[in-house]
């Protein structure tokens, strides 16, 4: 294909270039700028120092806690140093909860301690703890089908293992036990829930996480159990004798309080009212330092914006970085953002969130109207050399992004390698040493291509029909 073209005269070549430029939505000039940004990101971006700063200077930052307040102050300060035109917060309301101690031990037939962690918003045990026999279920479906008399007065033990996958697709089915297990157990008269951690590691750490507590009439304590301890209970139960466990938990539900979405903008030079949103969530669980979830995402989108802010001129439309608050406890920041910004949703040209750890990006997903696919094809010219393949058009734009997608906002998904993400997710082991600075450079390179081209492109992306 190339050889005959090379024999054409320069004039003909230029004419051909003009024709092809007119046919394609992204101009050659814009692509050239994106290429420079990409290569700059690979050579000199430093997202690592941002996640290092967040984990060292703030650390755990569960929504509504003192750590969360310090994270908001950190984010405002950091954005001010990175070259944004405008930095501000928007208040959100969050349910608050105090994590106290959580102890669990087998008292019979083979007494020994267990490693557990309260699931988010678990109620406490009665003063002095509770002791009951455990009853095992393979998964939440088996619990749902069980007669109440099998469960009443017992501690429900859901023992479902999660499959490891690069896409993280084992998470969806496994997390059902965490999101619904306590409610179903409580309705059937159980006294507590013990859940095999939703995770892929064999470390003796329990994985915390949110469950649905809304409208549960008589909630019971709910704890995640480390994988080795779930194996231990499984083996004890196989010996055919009743296994009794004592739980002692002293959490506390607190009054609602404020948290914040923290927002930084690079104001568009031509269409400032049109906005590309790139995001991550600022909150984390409280037992690790939230390096992977989602300190890495915060660092990737902030560094992406910094590189774009360094260009000699602003992109055509506004690039808005939203660091969402309270993602972990139910996408609270994103839901309240969409509610508060309902009248300008048509001006949100697209959304994308980085929230899957710090692995390399390997796949580029989209959610675009069918007549806009050639934009993604053009972006692929710059993404393919980063080792990224074209994925599907089912991107949900990330957890917080999905709230926008539900309103028809187009989305992009730079899918990271999540093979080991769920080894650390929501554990005390989610710490900075899991983050590889080189992988972050590759992430920023991909993000800067996608973010710049959407902010700069001539046309728009339309709306994507929603299912309902
Ligand atoms: Zn997350």
Gyration radius (Cα) of the chain, Å = 24
Q: Pick from 360, 355, 366: which is nearest to 417 by CA?
A: 360
Question: How far apart are the CA of 444 and the centre of ligand 1, in A?
Answer: 18
What's the token pair of residue 58? 């703030």
Q: How far is the CA of 1 from the centre of ligand 1 (A)?
A: 46
pLDDT tens digits for range 47-89 = 999 999 999 999 999 999 999 999 999 999 999 999 999 999 9
pLDDT tens sequence across 233-291: 999 999 999 999 999 999 999 999 999 999 999 999 999 999 999 999 999 999 999 99
Q: What is the pTM of this model?
A: 0.94
Q: Which tens digits make up the pLDDT trace of 307-340?
A: 999 999 999 999 999 999 999 999 999 999 999 9
- What's the pLDDT at 1? 38
Site of tokens 């995001």: 279
Query: What average pLDDT does range 361-367 have in this prediction?
Result: 98
pLDDT at position 14? 54
- Asked if 95 and 64 count as a contact pair (C-beta separation under 8 A), the reply is yes
Residues 6+ apart with CB under 8 A from 347: 273, 274, 275
CB-CB contact of 305 with 319 (8 Å): yes
Confidence of residue 438 (pLDDT cuts 50, 70, 90): very high
Which residue is catalytic, options 327, 328, 353, 456? 327
Judged by average pLDDT, the poorest of 13-17, 182-186, 219-223, 345-349 is 13-17
Residue 155: phi and psi, rounded to 5, are -95, 115
**pLDDT at 24 (0 to 100):** 87
pLDDT in tens, 124-159: 999 999 999 999 999 999 999 999 999 999 999 999
pLDDT digits (tens, 9 = 90+) for 277-288: 999 999 999 999
pLDDT of the residue at 21: 47
Q: What is the mean pLDDT of the chain?
A: 95
Distance CA 259, CA 157 (A): 34
Please give the structure tokens belonging to residue 183. Answer: 């409610």
22 pLDDT tier (thresholds 50, 70, 90): low
217 catalytic, yes or no? no
- Tell me how far apart the alpha carbons of residues 439 and 429 are, in angstroms, rounded to a whole number: 19
For ligand 1, the distance from its centroid to the CA atom of residue 59, given in whole angstroms, is 15
CB atoms within 10 A of CB 239: 9
Q: From ligand 1's centre to the CA of 422, what distance in Å?
A: 11
pLDDT tens per residue across span 105-121: 999 999 999 999 999 99
CA of 326 to the centre of ligand 1 (A): 10
- CB of 179 closer than 8 Å to CB of 141: no
What pLDDT is stored for residue 229 in this prediction? 98
The fraction of the chain above a pLDDT of 90, given in percent, is 94
Question: Ligand 1 centroid to 355 CA: how many Å?
Answer: 5
């Amino acid at each position: 294909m190339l050889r005959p073209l090379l024999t054409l005269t320069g004039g003909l070549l230029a004419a051909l270039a003009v024709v092809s430029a007119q046919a394609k939505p992204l101009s050659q000039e814009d692509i050239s700028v994106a290429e420079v940004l990409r290569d700059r990101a690979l050579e000199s971006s430093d997202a690592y120092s941002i996640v290092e700063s967040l984990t060292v200077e703030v650390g755990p930052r569960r929504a509504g806690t003192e750590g969360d307040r310090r994270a908001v102050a950190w984010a405002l300060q950091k954005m001010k140093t990175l070259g944004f035109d405008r930095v501000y917060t928007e208040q959100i309301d969050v349910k608050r909860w105090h994590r106290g101690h959580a102890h669990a031990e087998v008292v019979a037939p083979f007494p020994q301690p267990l490693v557990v962690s309260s699931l988010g918003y678990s109620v406490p045990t009665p003063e002095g703890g509770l002791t009951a026999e455990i009853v095992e279920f393979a998964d939440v479906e088996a619990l749902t089908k069980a007669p109440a008399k099998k469960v009443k007065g017992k501690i429900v033990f859901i023992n479902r293992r999660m499959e490891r996958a690069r896409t993280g697709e084992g998470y969806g089915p496994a997390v059902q036990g965490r999101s619904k297990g306590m409610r179903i157990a409580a309705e059937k008269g159980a006294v507590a829930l013990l859940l095999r951690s939703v995770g892929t590691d064999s470390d003796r750490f329990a994985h915390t996480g949110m469950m649905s507590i809304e409208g549960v009439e008589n909630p019971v304590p709910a704890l995640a159990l480390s994988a080795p301890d779930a194996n231990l209970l499984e083996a004890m139960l196989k010996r055919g004798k009743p296994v009794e466990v004592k739980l002692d938990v002293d959490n506390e539900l607190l009054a609602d309080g404020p948290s914040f979405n923290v927002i930084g903008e690079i104001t568009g030079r031509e269409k400032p009212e049109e906005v590309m949103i790139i995001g991550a969530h600022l909150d984390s669980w409280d037992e690790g330092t939230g390096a992977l979830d989602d300190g890495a995402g915060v660092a990737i989108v902030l560094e992406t914006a910094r590189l774009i802010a360094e260009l000699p001129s602003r992109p055509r439309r506004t690039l808005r970085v939203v660091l969402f608050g309270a993602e972990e406890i139910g996408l609270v920041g994103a839901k309240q953002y969409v509610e508060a910004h309902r009248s300008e949703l048509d001006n949100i040209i697209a959304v994308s969130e980085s929230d899957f750890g710090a692995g390399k990006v390997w796949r580029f997903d989209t959610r675009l109207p069918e007549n806009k696919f050639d934009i993604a094809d053009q972006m692929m010219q710059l993404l393919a050399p980063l080792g990224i393949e074209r994925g599907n058009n089912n991107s949900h734009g990330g957890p917080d992004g999905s709230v926008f997608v539900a309103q028809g906002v187009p989305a992009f998904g730079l899918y990271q390698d999540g093979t080991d993400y769920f080894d650390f997710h929501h554990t005390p082991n989610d710490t900075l040493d899991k983050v590889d600075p080189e992988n972050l450079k590759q992430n920023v390179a991909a993000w800067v291509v996608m973010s710049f081209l959407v902010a700069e492109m001539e046309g728009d992306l339309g709306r994507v029909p929603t299912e309902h």
